Amino acid sequence: MKKSIHIKITTMMFLLVVAAQALLDIRLPPPTNSPWKSGETTVTLSDDGVLTVSGKGAMEDYGFYYAFPGAPWLGLNRSIKSIVIEEGVTHIGDGAFMYCWSATSATIPNSVVSIGRGAFWGVGFTSVTIPNSVTSIGKLAFFRTGLTSITIPNSVTSIEERAFAECDHLASATIPGGVMEIAKKNPDSETLIEKDDWRDIKKNTTKIRRGDQRDVASGLGGFVFQNCTKLTSVAIGDGAKAIGAGMFAGCSSLTFITIPNSVTSIGEYAFTGTGLTSITIPPNVMSIESEAFHQSSNLTSIILRNPKITEFDRSAFDFWNGLNIYYPISEFLAPNFDIIFTLFDNRIIKAYNMKTGPWLAVSVLTVLVLFAAILFIIIKSRKSSGRKRTFFRLMIVMLSIFLSLTIYLSVVYATTFSIKIETNLENGGTVSPSRTIKYNVVTEAIVTAKANDGYVFTGWSGASTSTDAKIAVVVDGSRNQTLTANFKPINENEK
């Protein structure tokens, strides 16, 4: 009942916001005095809809997040077709181009150092280049834009909350590892996040304010890509220390991601509601916070790479039937295994060998040494009698047991398994890679299907039943597998 009431209230608030946007032009009469002075810059609007910002220095900061007054040209937002910021401008003001839905392009020069809060909120462009001069991107800076992809340059060191949230067309994002101050708190500002205004995450609303002692996003985070429902490809650079709070929350099309080895923590709600089918936790991760993978109902495999996890919230994962947890066989006798076992709610954890090559080499060497030792003792026992012979025979039995165990482990844990990748129709489409591939135990195989002209991809069968064209399949080391890409003619009556 409470959840139903919450959904109704959220829907009503959303409708009110939409209504406010629709009435925006009425509330703010179209200005007539172009050009406008904006801080140290001048803004002009041409007859053909080009909004130009020129000058040396920073633009003025305006109201955003439904705060008024806005920029003086805001009333002409539907007339603005493109945005040109000239060289010399150093700061794009808060709310500067908010609601410029009709703007299909924007040019940001190399002189810009910071992009203000809500600067491009709702702008209609599908692409924009952020230059290497930019070091900070403000809260909601590209919120609900038409972006289809974004590359954040290495110069950026600070990204505030929801900077790229709810971009419905965003399919790929590249994030540098040097972004180390995303969603840091500033004691002199207002409420930043109302964590359940996007989903009924908790029964009561929890607010995170600037100035909180708790660092919710010490690396990448702060709901930056929240609800980007078409996001399928994410590249995070080496050096990132954390996946912060709600980073990819609600990204339902995100089916796989590689977390860099430099990451030490995964924040609360980081991957809540994603389409992930498997996740590899890198070796330096020490903490996984509450509901980090909550409501990711497609998640079937968790691969732990020599984990050092010491802080783990039991709500981080929803343990559906069939969820497999893989742990390195080399770490089963490590002191922290009992901790890991307890953290994962005493679930059945499957052993795997991280490095087939070294394991196989050690196994072969051990077998040879044991075999040589057994031969040596057999020769000695033939020349002995009495208790000495009995002792040698006992040694032969014990060494034979060790030899058998070593051979067994070598076969079980040093074996490679294969995935045969094929299509159901010869001319229906292609798969990449398009062959039988051998992998070491517990490896993610990335496979892509592409339909030919006149055909449509309908989904996978065999090792995966996903309908996504690009998937990650986990080889669990228990058997060889077959993965089939299924295609059908667009008009089956013609084929």
CATH number, domain with residue 226: 3.80.10.10
Whether residues 268 and 215 fall in one domain: yes
Residue 264: inside a domain, yes or no?
yes
188 and 161 inside one domain:
yes
* Same domain? 303 vs 202: yes
Per-residue pLDDT of the chain (495 residues; tens, 9 = 90+): 444 554 445 445 545 544 555 544 444 445 546 799 999 999 999 999 999 999 999 999 998 765 567 899 988 999 999 999 999 999 999 999 999 999 999 999 999 999 999 999 999 999 999 999 999 999 999 999 999 999 999 999 889 889 999 999 999 999 887 775 444 333 333 333 333 333 333 332 233 322 332 333 333 448 999 999 999 888 888 888 888 889 999 999 998 888 888 888 898 899 999 988 888 888 888 888 888 988 888 887 788 776 677 777 777 877 555 677 776 655 554 555 555 656 565 555 555 544 444 555 566 677 777 777 777 878 777 777 777 778 877 887 888 777 777 666 665 555 556 678 888 888 889 888 776 666 555 566 778 899 999 999 998 888 777 788 888 777 655 567 788 899 999 875 444
Same domain, 345 and 362: no
Looking at the structure, tell me whether residues 390 and 421 fall in a common domain.
no
| Domain membership of residue 165 as a residue range | 148-353
Identify which of 145, 62, 156 has the alpha carbon closest to the alpha carbon of residue 105. Answer: 145
- Do residues 374 and 467 both lie within one domain? no
Q: Same structural domain for residues 164 and 179?
A: yes
Are residues 172 and 269 located together in one domain of the fold? yes
Domain boundary among the residues 413, 431, 460 is at 413
260 and 397 together in one domain: no
Q: How many domains does the chain have?
A: 3
DSSP bridge pairs for 445: 473
Q: Which of 413, 428, 460 is the last residue of a domain?
A: 413
Q: Are 152 and 296 members of one domain?
A: yes
Inter-residue contact 181 to 157 (CB < 8 Å)? yes
